[in-house]
Amino acid sequence: MNIVVMGQGYVGLPLAMAAVEAGHHVIGFEVDEQRCKQLCSGMSYIGDVSDKALQEALTSGRYQPTCDERRLAGFDVAVIAVPTPLKERLPDLSAVRLATETLARYVRRDVTVVLESTTHPGTTRQIVLPLLEVRSRLRAGISFHLGFSPERIDPGNEQWTFANTPKIVAGLTEGCRDRVQEFYASITQNVIPADSLEEAELAKVFENTFRHVNIALVNELCRVAHTLGVDVWRTLDLAGSKPFGFKKFTPGPGVGGHCLPVDPVFLSHHVRTKFGEPFRLVELAQDINEAQPSYVVTRLQNALNARHGKALKDARVLALGLAYKPGVADSRQSPAVQVVTELKRKGAHVDAVDPHVTGTVHGLFTPLPYQDYDAVVLLTAHKEFDLTQIAAEAPYVLDTRGVMPEAPHIERL
Ligand SMILES: NC(=O)c1ccc[n+]([C@@H]2O[C@H](COP(=O)([O-])OP(=O)(O)OC[C@H]3O[C@@H](n4cnc5c(N)ncnc54)[C@H](O)[C@@H]3O)[C@@H](O)[C@H]2O)c1
């Protein structure tokens, strides 16, 4: 089949590679010219896609990255995998609208269009469908097929990959869903049909909202336990020994990345605009998680004061990790970046080291020996950090991830 993937980012590029591997011909449409050039030269900017895999796709002749929209002509299946960020703290669907309008000029009879971008329920039917119909002058569900299939990719996860993570598929009509299902069955192992577009859209935002709310719960528990003088990590281990009815989440410096701080807002904002009422638990979780980086700074400030009689102002602090989670280079909306920013704002001299994130002290060396810092704050548990060495040499460590060995000079959040 001739496939078009709109957007060659964390979602679109791995999808394009999977489709090439399955024998399809793929046009990877990208508006960012720099990214397009990089892809054409065989250099991947996505951790889950190696240069080798990209180069093999290019040499197969079945993968063509392009910024030229005329190359969209003649597709059988088009997947929209463009960003759905927040703008001024509100959902921004402008990239979905633009990509759909571009694609609509090339929609012909019998093609299939699938939205993969994460968004609020109703987007495929109320936004994508009319844009496609008006521009193409064809009817969705009659002349062409329309569907939604949310992406669950977890960058850096080696166990659950694009190929083996169950993929939900939904269609405007049963016929549409069959076509969407047929395409995804050719590139993934486990396809789960949904009864409606809205159920699939809601399932996606709810999955990440569930995680977000549970992280907020343990983050708040962490503050309560600290005030009570109880070790929250051991408490969670004990609770986690229950073999049924409990799922363990752990505290941290907050939530980050492209999904967790964003997706619940799509849900809560939609509920507010549609019904004029808040989705209370979701909005509360946002407040708690957004305040967590400041809580980390306060804990560090108090510890410096109580343990070393030192103010945060002019203290030398080493921040370990800036990515939002271990093993990835993605520092978008990372709470670690917020912690570093706030520490600096309060007058600390901060060095930040991340072996994955370029633009920081990139690599494993630190600018100074650990013992020359007043405090080390571990923000991302990258496996490259030598925890034993840090424990042996740093005078004080605030471990926000609960991974350091126990010692009197090491404090867990
Ligand atoms: N990153 C993840 O882990 C993840 C997981 C599940 C779902 N999602 C969702 O998938 C969608 C895409 O996310 P992402 O992480 O791949 O974003 P990304 O920013 O990594 O990639 C999106 C790409 O689309 C390009 N783009 C923007 N407008 C375009 C247009 N009109 N036409 C063509 N290309 C365009 C951008 O230049 C960018 O390269 C979002 O809705 C996101 O919420 C992301």
Asked if residues 6 and 99 have their Cβ atoms less than 8 Å apart, the reply is yes
User: Which residue ranges of the chain lie beneath pLDDT 50?
Assistant: none
What is the overall mean pLDDT for the chain?
95
- How many folded domains does the chain comprise? 2
User: Is 222 annotated as catalytic?
Assistant: no
CATH number at residue 8: 3.40.50.720
DSSP state of 363: S
For the CA of 118, the nearest atom of ligand 1: 41
In a domain, 247, yes or no: yes
Per residue in 95-119, pLDDT (tens digit) is 999 999 999 999 999 999 999 999 9
State which residues form the domain around 72.
2-195
Asked if residues 344 and 350 have their Cβ atoms less than 8 Å apart, the reply is yes
In a domain, 36, yes or no: yes
> What's phi and psi for 333, nearest 5 deg?
50, 30
In a domain, 153, yes or no: yes
Ligand 1 pocket, residue 6 CB under 6 Å: yes
Per residue in 309-362, pLDDT (tens digit) is 999 999 999 999 999 999 988 888 899 999 999 999 999 999 999 999 876 665
Say how far apart CA 369 and CA 321 lie, in whole Å: 16
**188, 219: one domain:** no
In a domain, 166, yes or no: yes
**103, 216: one domain:** no
Ligand 1 pocket, residue 30 CB under 6 Å: yes
Say how far apart CA 268 and CA 282 lie, in whole Å: 7
Instruction: Give me the DSSP letters along 245-257.
Output: S-------S---T
For the CA of 32, the nearest atom of ligand 1: 37
Q: Furthest-apart CA pair in the chain: how many Å?
A: 74
Per residue in 133-166, pLDDT (tens digit) is 999 999 999 999 999 999 998 887 889 999 999 9
Ligand 1 pocket, residue 222 CB under 6 Å: no
Q: Long-range contacts of range 280-286, CB-CB < 8 Å, 24 or more positions apart? A: 281/213, 282/209, 282/212, 282/213, 284/216, 285/209, 285/212, 285/213, 285/215, 285/216, 285/217, 286/212, 286/216, 286/261
